[in-house]
A and B are shown apart, each in its own frame.
Chain A
Amino acid sequence: MNRRTMLIRVAAGLSVAAALVFTVTAAGTGTASLVSGKAQLMSAGPLAFGPDGVLFVGDSIGGAVVALDTNDHTAPKGAVKIDVDGVDAKIAALAGVTPDQIVINDLKVNPISRNVYLSASRGKGPDAMPLIARVDSKGDVSLLSLDKIPNASVSLTDAPAANPTARQNPRMMTITDMSYVNGNVMVAGLSNEEWSSALRSIPFPFKTAEQGATLQIWHASHGRYETQSPVRTFVPYTISGQQYILAAYTCTPLVKIPVSDLKPGAKVKGVTIADLGSGNQPLGMVPYKKDGHEYILVANTSLGLLKLKADNLETYKPIDSPTVTNVAGVPYDTLSNKNVQQLAKLDDANAVILTGKPGSGPAFNPGPAVGPLNISTIALP
Chain B
Amino acid sequence: MRKFHLAAIAVLLVTGMTAIAESFSVQLEGGAFKVAGWQPPRTEPSKGWSSVFAVYAGSGDVPPLLGSYAVEGGSLVFHPRYPFAAGVHYRAVFHPPGGGAPIGKTFDGPARDVTPAARVERIYPSGDVLPSNQLRLYIYFSAPMSRGEAAARIHILDDKGKPLPGVLLPGEELWDPNFRRLTMTFDPGRIKRGLTSNEAMGPPITEGKHYTLVIDRDWKDARGAQMVEAFRKSFRGGPAQRTSPDPKQWKVTAPKAGTSEALTVNFPAPMNYPLLQRMLQVSGARGTVSGAVNIDKDETEWRLTPQEPWKPGDYKLAVDTGLEDLAGNSIGQPFDIDVFDHVTEHITSKTISLPFTVR
Contact = CB atoms under 8 A, between A and B. Distances in A.
Interface of A: 1, 3, 12-16, 18, 61, 86, 89-90, 92-99, 101, 103, 122-129, 140-143, 167, 169-172, 174, 190-196, 220, 222-229, 250-252, 275, 277-281, 283, 301-302, 322-328, 359-362, 364-368
B170 A172 contact: no
A16 B320 CA distance: 11
B344 A94 contact: no
B60 A89 contact: yes
Contacts of B200: 278, 324, 326
Contact of A143 (B58, B66, B88, B193): B66
Contacts of B198: 322
Contacts of A361: 151-152
Interface of B: 1-3, 56-58, 60-66, 80-85, 87-88, 90, 135-136, 144-152, 163, 165-166, 168-172, 174-179, 181, 183, 185, 187-190, 192-201, 220-223, 272, 274-275, 278, 320-322, 324, 328, 330, 332-333, 335-340, 344, 348-350
A128 B176 CA distance: 13
B344 A167 contact: no
Contacts of B87: 97-98
Contacts of A14: 321-322, 332-333, 348, 350
The majority secondary structure among interface residues of chain A is loop
Contacts of A301: 170-171
Given A86-B60, A93-B63, A192-B183, A224 B166 contact: no
B151 A365 contact: yes
Give the most central of B60, B165, B194: most A CB within 10 Å: B194
Given A279-B170, A362-B163, 9 more contacts: A90-B62, A125-B223, A127-B2, A129-B1, A193-B183, A194-B322, A194-B330, A228-B333, A281-B172
Nearest to B185: A250
Contacts of A196: 322, 330, 333
Contact of B166 (A18, A128, A142, A278): A278
Contacts of A194: 272, 275, 322, 324, 330
Nearest to A60: B177
11 contacts: A94-B62, A97-B87, A122-B1, A124-B222, A125-B145, A126-B179, A128-B1, A171-B176, A227-B188, A250-B188, A279-B189
A225 B192 contact: yes
B82 A3 contact: no
Contact of A95 (B66, B145, B169): B66
B176 A192 contact: yes
B174 A195 contact: no
B336 A125 contact: no
Contacts of A222: 192-195, 336
Nearest to A325: B196
Nearest to A142: B63
Contact of B150 (A195, A278, A367): A367
A226 B340 CA distance: 10
Given A89-B58, A125-B1, A251 B330 contact: no
Given A90-B63, A127-B222, A167-B178, A280 B170 contact: yes
B275 to A, nearest CB: 6
B336 to A, nearest CB: 4
Contacts of A278: 166, 187, 189-190, 195-197, 200-201
Contact of A170 (B147, B177, B196): B177
B213 to A, nearest CB: 15
B177 A227 contact: no
Contact of B337 (A13, A16, A227, A275): A227
A118 to B, nearest CB: 14
A124 B152 contact: no
Given A89-B62, A278-B187, A279-B197, A364 B147 contact: no
Give the most central of A1, A98, A99, A128: most B CB within 10 Å: A98
B144 A126 contact: yes
A270 to B, nearest CB: 16
Nearest to A216: B333
Contacts of A279: 165-166, 170, 187, 189, 197
A195 B324 contact: yes
Contact of B178 (A126, A280, A326): A126
B196 A277 contact: yes
Give the most central of B64, B83, B166, B336: most A CB within 10 Å: B336
Nearest to A131: B82
Contacts of A323: 196, 199
Nearest to A123: B1
Give the most central of A90, A96, A327: most B CB within 10 Å: A96
A98 B339 contact: no
A324 B198 CA distance: 9
B344 A96 contact: no
B178 A141 contact: no
